Structures are given as structure tokens and as C-alpha cells.
Structure 1
Amino acid sequence: MKGLAEFVMRGRLQALLVTVAGAGSLMLCWISAAVLALVTLRRGAGQGAWLLLWALLPAGTLMLVFGDSGPLALLVSTMALALVLRATVSLPLAVLASVPLGALTGLGLLAFGQGMLDQMVGFFDEFITNLEQQLSSGEAGAVQLLRPTAVQVAGMMGAANGLLSIACLLLARWWQAALYNPGGFAEEFRALYLPPAVTLALTLAAVALASLGVEYRTWAVICLIPLNFAGLALVHARAAWRGRGGGWLTAFYLLWLFFDPVKLLVVGFAIADSWLRFRQRWVRPGGDDSRQ
């Protein structure tokens, strides 16, 4: 991946080729988004905007032909986060910016992407119907599972866009550090911290949305995205402090990806760290640390 970043930063033509090549692909648009963020962070908003305009051509074509606005939303959202990070030099603020971007993505789908939502609802309906048939047996009776609505799917897509845009931004930041400031990204990410007032506001917003009903629980997830990344930063800081290797973090990320209780646990870590400042407590006064 570092080799790709080196290639991109050789010149405008190289960056343009990689960005345009991935922007029209459902599987590779995240690479284009990360390249956009890298160029924006390193060379400024003008260079990033120039690349974005070219990337909108294949991404927009994909949306018009197939009705999939995902790559377009990811490119624009990642660019916005990169602009926030470049202007503020604050990773927490950039991560927090994913909340309004995720919400706007979901609202945009409800307003202008009804066709795509109908396709997604139909896909889930077919999948759940097949699952019900497999779970149903003669004596056990029919099994009925809940089917997502268009509102739920829009919230899910908004949450996915917010999550992926942060991931692309972090990849770009890692590329930037690997090329120009080795080791800098690790320190920056491990220090990611959200103040108590922010965590309280995000938590209350998530609870309020979830209390509106099942349809809005996916929208509540959007508010928890920054807390998840703050919790993951805490896990990375703890692993580095304890001297854990990459294998331990890989196993943890697999658990985090596939088990929702682990995600909630990470959110709990972030909330607790916001009030208790664990990273400061791990180091004794005078700089002497105690690994317990």
C-alpha cells in the first residue's frame, strides 16, 4: 500500500489515473477516496478538488446507469473529512464530522434515492424469505423475521458511508505519515480522544433515535461511529503500552467486525475513557508506568 502512495505522489497524472480508475468501481472506490484525501492533506484543497471533479465522472456515471450512489457519496464525504482535518489539524474533529455526513447521506437517499432503496429493500426481503424457508421445519412451524424498511436501509447506508469515509481518511493519513513522517500516524491515532461533553451528546442522540423505534436504530449507529473509533484508538494505545503484537490486534478487529457486542463494548470503553482518561492513569507521576 505504501508503494501505491509513492506512485500517486509522483505527480498529478499518476494521482489522476489511480483516482479515476477506482472511482467507477464498487470494489475499488475506497482507494480513490483515500487518494483524494492524501492529495488534499499533502498538496491542498485545490489539488484535491481537481481530482474530485475528474472522479465524479465515473462515479456519477455509475449512479446514473446503475442507480448506485455509494462511490459518489464516499468520494465526497472523504474529501470533506480531509478538508476538515487539513483546516483544523484535529483528528477528533475530522472523526466527528462523519456524523453530519452520514446523516446527510441517509437523508439524501430518502429524498433522491428511492429507486436504490427499493432495490435494497427487495434484496433484503428476498434474502430473509429464503432464510425463513431454511429455518422453518414441519413441526416447528413457520419462522417470521423482521424485514428492513426504506428508512432503516437509508440509515444503514448513511452509517456505512460515515464509517468508510473515516477509514479512507485514516488510510490516507497513514500513507502521509509513512511517506513524510514515519511513526507519526500511530501516535496521532492512539491519542484520539473525545471530551465528556461530546461523548454525552453523541450518546444521548443515539439513545433518542433508538427510542423512536426499530426503524431509527440504524440512524442511531451514525452517532456511535466516532465513539467506536475513539474506543479503537484506546485499544491501540493499550496494546502498544502492553507491548502486544499485530496478531493480537488482528484478532480483536475480527471480533469487532463480526460481533455487535464487541462494538458496544468498544463504545463503552470510549465513554469511560472520556471521563476517566485511562491513558493518563496508565502512566504514574514522573513518567514511570506500571503495566498491570
Structure 2
Amino acid sequence: MKSIAVFVMRGRSAAVLIAAPTAVLFWLFPPLLIVSGAVVALVTLRRGAAEGALLAVLAGLGAGALAGLVLGLGAMWPMLSVVLACWIPLWALASLLRATVSLSVTLRAAALLGLLGVGGFYLVLGDPAVWWSQTLDGLRQGLTTLPSGERATLEQLLDLLRSWAPLLPGQVVSAALLFVLAGLLLGRWWQALLFNPGGFRPEFHQLRLGRPLALLALALFGAAVLSGWPALSNLVLVLGTLYSVQGIAVAHALVFKLRLSPAWLLLLYLFLVPLLSQLVMALGIADAWADFRTRARPRPGKP
């Protein structure tokens, strides 16, 4: 990974050569979008907001053109849409991080962007459940020419998607936010790797979103449960993503401070999505009051 960061720092053309193709290859392997975003973050953090914006424009145009050549002209706009949705907020957050030198402040700003993103969904689409249902009905009409077996399977899939419709804004924004934050953190790690070796670990370990945001998350969760209003649930999904990141930071800090085997972190990531995501989110919220990282003490007998 360090070799990629070194190559990116050679100049603008080198950065575009990494960011544009990895963005296009996102369609085959989604995590590569994180790498492309990390290039934008690294350049913004190191060389400033103007250079980062110029890189995003050039790499975005390159990614759109490359997608058009490889996947057809119809892929150009979807490619640009993905790039705009991820790179613009990532560039803004990287610019803020460069100015404040605070991951905590930057992630609080990310929380605000996420909440505004959910609000934007409702402003543009109205009721997402109604919009999604109309979209699915149009897709269902196109299934009439398929064999009965395939049609039944696809109709079951459409019914499943319909059940998710009320939470569409929170799911989409949370997924985009996760890619943005992963790209930002990877870019920050690259920056430390090249210019401040060992500097990223204490910065990430001390990540704290604060009690006010934790109280807001709990209040929204309680209101969502009592009212059953999907809009509140969508806001909770966004804040839950942020506190999952803090929960991961707490886990990393505890493993390091207690001098545990890194295998514990490997297990955490292996089981994060299927089993542990809600526990990690709860750990992040609880840390706002329990402050596990300060209370933890190295085990006796450990050097």
C-alpha cells in the first residue's frame, strides 16, 4: 500500500492514473472505490483543497471516459454519479481534516453531511417507499416475457426490495458514507506513512464523536421505536454508521493498550457484518460515557 501512496505523490498525472482506473474497477470489486477515494484524500490532505479538487475533476472525467470505452457509453453517467456521490463529500471532509487536524471534528461533520443526505432524499423523492414501489412496479411489468421459474424468483426479489423501501434513504446514505470514511481514513494513514510514521495510530485510537451526538443518536433511536416513523430510522442508520467507526477505533485502542494479539482484530473484521455490527455500534455509543480506552490497563506480566 505504501508503494501506491509513493506513486500518487509523484505528481498530478500519477494520481489520476491511480484514481481513475480504480474508480472504474469499482464495478467489478467495490472496495477499489475506497482506494480511488483515498488518492483524492491524500492529495487534498498533503497539497491542499484546490489541488484535491482539480485531481477529482480530472480523475472523474478520466473514469467516465474509461467507463464509456470499456463498458459502453451508457456507463459514463452512472460512473460519474458514483464518483460525484463519494468524491465530493470525501474532498470536503479531507479539506476540513487538513484545516482542523482533528478526526473527531471531521467525523462530526460527516455525521451532519449524512443527516442532510437523508433529508435530501425526502426533498427530492418525497416518500421513498412510494417512489421505490413505483420503480419496482415498472420492473415487474418487464418480467412478463420471462419463463415462469425465472419470473417467480425475480418477483420474490422485487418483493424483498419493496420491504426495504422505507429505509432506502438511510441504507444508501450509510453505504456511501462508509465508503467515504474508509477512503478518508486510508488517505490519512497513507499521509502518516509517508510523512509522519506512526502518527495515524494514536490519532485513530483517540477518535471520539462526543456525548451530544451520542445523545442525539439515542434520542432518535427511542423516537423511531416509539413512533415507527421511517424517517427517524433512516437518521439512526446514518449515525449508527458513524458510531460503528468509533466502535472500531475503541476496539483497536483496547487491543493495542492491553497488548492483545492482532488476531482479535482479524476476528472482529471477519464477523463485523454478519454478527458484530450492532455490538460495535453499541460499543462506540457506550464509550461516550464509559471511556473504555482511559479505563483499560495493560495486563500484568505484559512488557
Q: In which range does the TM-score fall when normalised by the shorter chain?
A: 0.7 to 0.9
Alpha-carbon distance in structure 1 between the residues aligned to 2:134 and 2:6:
38
Q: 2:57 aligns with which of 31, 53, 59?
A: 53
**SS at the partner of 2:207?**
coil
Contact 1:149-1:215 within 8 A present in 2 as well: no
The 1:146/1:15 distance shift into structure 2, 3 A limit, reads closer
The Cα RMSD (Å) is 3.5
What is aligned with 2:91? 79
Tell me how far 1:8 sits from its aligned partner: 0.4
The 1:100/1:42 distance shift into structure 2, 3 A limit, reads same
Alpha-carbon distance in structure 2 between the residues aligned to 1:279 and 1:120:
49
1:37 matches 2:41: yes
What is aligned with 1:202? 217
Alpha-carbon distance in structure 2 between the residues aligned to 1:273 and 1:258:
22
Tell me how far 1:264 sits from its aligned partner: 2.0
Contact 1:156-1:219 within 8 A present in 2 as well: no
What is aligned with 1:3? 3
Alpha-carbon distance in structure 2 between the residues aligned to 1:16 and 1:202:
38
Q: Deviations over 1:71-124 (max 9, x none)?
A: 32111121111112111111011112222322344454555689xx85996499
Alpha-carbon distance in structure 1 between the residues aligned to 2:283 and 2:44:
32
Which residue identity does 2:289 align to in structure 1?
W
Alpha-carbon distance in structure 2 between the residues aligned to 1:186 and 1:128:
51
What is aligned with 1:184? 199
Which residue identity does 2:59 align to in structure 1?
A
Which residue identity does 1:249 align to in structure 2?
L
Which residue identity does 1:241 align to in structure 2?
K
Contact 1:38-1:176 within 8 A present in 2 as well: yes
1:233 matches 2:245: no
Tell me how far 1:219 sits from its aligned partner: 3.6
What is aligned with 2:104? 92
Give TM-score scaled by structure 2 length: 0.77
Tell me how far 1:48 sits from its aligned partner: 0.4
1:223 matches 2:213: no
Q: Can you give the 5+ residue segments of structure 2 that lack an aligned partner in the other structure? A: 144-149
Which residue identity does 2:111 align to in structure 1?
V
Q: Deviations over 1:9-38 (max 9, x none)?
A: 111211122222233443433222110000
Which residue identity does 2:173 align to in structure 1?
G
Q: 1:164 aligns with which of 167, 172, 179?
A: 179
Alpha-carbon distance in structure 1 between the residues aligned to 2:116 and 2:226:
21
Alpha-carbon distance in structure 2 between the residues aligned to 1:72 and 1:59:
11
Contact 1:121-1:153 within 8 A present in 2 as well: no
**SS at the partner of 1:271?**
helix
1:272 matches 2:286: yes
Contact 2:33-2:179 within 8 A present in 1 as well: no
Aligned residues: percent identity?
36
Give TM-score scaled by structure 1 length: 0.79
What is aligned with 2:147? none
**SS at the partner of 2:163?**
coil
Q: Deviations over 1:154-178 (max 9, x none)?
A: 3211111111111110100111111
Alpha-carbon distance in structure 1 between the residues aligned to 2:33 and 2:296:
40
Contact 1:2-1:175 within 8 A present in 2 as well: yes
What is aligned with 1:139? none
Q: Can you give the 5+ residue segments of structure 1 that lack an aligned partner in the other structure? A: 135-143, 284-288
The 1:39/1:243 distance shift into structure 2, 3 A limit, reads same
What is aligned with 1:282? 296
The 1:108/1:200 distance shift into structure 2, 3 A limit, reads closer
Contact 1:203-1:224 within 8 A present in 2 as well: no
Q: Deviations over 1:189-237 (max 9, x none)?
A: 1111232222112322344345553744344210122211111111111
Which residue identity does 1:170 align to in structure 2?
L
Which structure is higher in helix share?
2
Contact 1:23-1:58 within 8 A present in 2 as well: no
Q: 2:153 aligns with which of 122, 130, 137?
A: 130
Contact 1:110-1:151 within 8 A present in 2 as well: no
